[in-house]
Amino acid sequence: MKLLNVDTVNEVKKKMEDYFGDIIAGYEEIEITEALGRVTSEDILSSYDIPDFNRSTVDGYAVVSKDTFGASESLPAFLNIIGKVEMGEATELKVSKGSCVYVPTGGMIPEGADGMLMIEYTELIDEIMIAAHSPVAPGENIIFIGDDIQIGERILPKGRVIMSQDIGVLCAAGISHIRAVKKPKVAIVSTGDEIVDPFGGINKGQVRDINTYILSAMVQESGGEVTSSIVVRDDYDLIKETVDKASKLNDIVVISGGSSVGVKDNTERVIDSFGKPGVFVHGAAVKPGKPTIIGKVRNAAVFGLPGHPVSAVIIFKVFVEHLIDRMLGKIKENYFVDAECSTNIHSSPGKETYQMVELAENEKGYTAKPIHAKSSAISQLSKAHGMIRIPLDKEGIKAGETVRVELFR
């Protein structure tokens, strides 16, 4: 039996950088209506001041602030009303000493005014006069030109994953299109004679297809594009034909099953059959997922993941998602929370161990509860909020120890 020559996680990632440094997804211009979840390929700068006029943040009266100094309920300041500002319209009104102008929230501040007196602190004496019952500081309740964003200011950095609130900022800056990194194209291949359609009939000894669906969803979550997903019998020629086609059309090919050292495990032989560099990783010092395969066919990265769904998910997150993030040029985000471990967790010496956990809130923050199940138990996936990484030189986690939980996103 062939023994695996395992690499540490860091060693695997270094090899991936060496072999896949030339895999670039490219760039494209897209409308902001299609930008959610996409990654910016360059800094996005504003072409406008935001706001581009001095604007009120309250309903009330635009005043010369000095006119209100010392004003109170018992000793109000009296101001003459010289007009009002209409929403969405510019104004030619000018405020001078002893006068004021009504301005609604969001309205334009008239020339000469340097503060907004909230309507709650006024009393309407008649149609042309108010009593001010509170002082106003210079600049109070006003957002000035460029206070929010100035011309030429960076509003979104390169490598930003566009979120819903970013769409609003782009609209405010009048930006209808952005330059985004193209989604890496990914083909999903599940192998195994026992794998069948999950929604049809099933015989004893057969297994419903899980990996094709969950890995496809993970590609989309990571920002990639699934171009095809297929189940292939554990036959060398069929797998080779599938990888041949997929490697011509995709940046990444993900194969689940066929990564161990059994007689019918064809993934390594198929990858090597296309010539150098072929397989450069067969075995990673991780648990679960030791028999991980990584190779290169033409210019496509090819991953051989374990067949067990839980192991496949973990290896995808550790290595495939890492490559997709690099290809997209994502800004490194912290998808972590610190939590108190509820029980002891044992790890395997010499392996980086990944333990799925549930999170529960407590008075101090969070408690991480390990989900203990056999490696093939799919129920772990629906229960888990994230996973704990235990370094290969650490013997385990003790109950009560603070751990960092990588959240599933």
CATH superfamily for 29-47+152-181 is Molybdopterin biosynthesis moea protein, domain 2 (3.90.105.10)
Residue-level pLDDT at 377: 64
Cβ count within 10 A of residue 295: 24
Residue-level pLDDT at 372: 81
Confirm if 25 and 183 have CB atoms less than 8 A apart: yes
Cβ count within 10 A of residue 273: 15
Residue by residue, pLDDT tens for the chain (409 residues) are: 455 678 999 999 999 999 998 777 899 999 999 999 999 999 999 999 999 999 999 999 999 999 999 999 999 999 999 999 999 999 999 999 999 999 999 999 999 999 999 999 999 999 999 999 999 999 999 999 999 999 999 999 999 999 999 999 999 999 999 999 999 999 999 998 888 888 988 889 888 889 999 999 999 999 999 999 999 998 999 999 999 999 999 999 999 986 555 545 789 999 999 999 999 999 999 999 889 999 999 999 999 999 889 899 999 999 999 999 999 999 887 789 999 999 999 888 889 999 999 999 988 899 999 998 665 567 778 889 999 999 998 989 999 999 999 998 7
Check whether domain 55-143 has CATH 2.170.190.11, yes or no:
yes
CB under 8 A, 24+ apart: contacts of 225-228: 225/183, 225/184, 225/185, 225/186, 226/186, 226/187, 226/188, 227/185, 227/186, 227/187, 228/187, 228/188
Distance CA 379, CA 395 (A): 26
Alpha helices, H only, 250-377? 267-272, 309-315, 321-328
Check whether domain 336-407 has CATH 2.40.340.10, yes or no:
yes
* CB proximity list for 192: less than 8 A, separation 6 or greater: 207, 231, 233, 234, 257, 258, 307
Candidates 286, 291, 302, 275; CA nearest to 353 is: 286
CA-based angle 346:350:353, to the nearest 5?
A: 45
Candidates 181, 183, 187, 191; CA nearest to 226 is: 187
Helix (H, G, I), strand (E, B) or coil at 182: coil
Residue-level pLDDT at 263: 44
- To which H or E segment does residue 171 belong? helix 164-172
Candidates 169, 167, 234; CA nearest to 207 is: 234
Distance CA 304, CA 292 (A): 6
Q: Which CATH architecture has domain 9-26+183-326?
A: 3-Layer(aba) Sandwich (3.40)
Token pair listed for 17: 């950088």
Candidates 212, 190, 185; CA nearest to 199 is: 212
Domain boundary assignment for the chain: 9-26+183-326, 29-47+152-181, 55-143, 336-407
Residue-level pLDDT at 1: 41
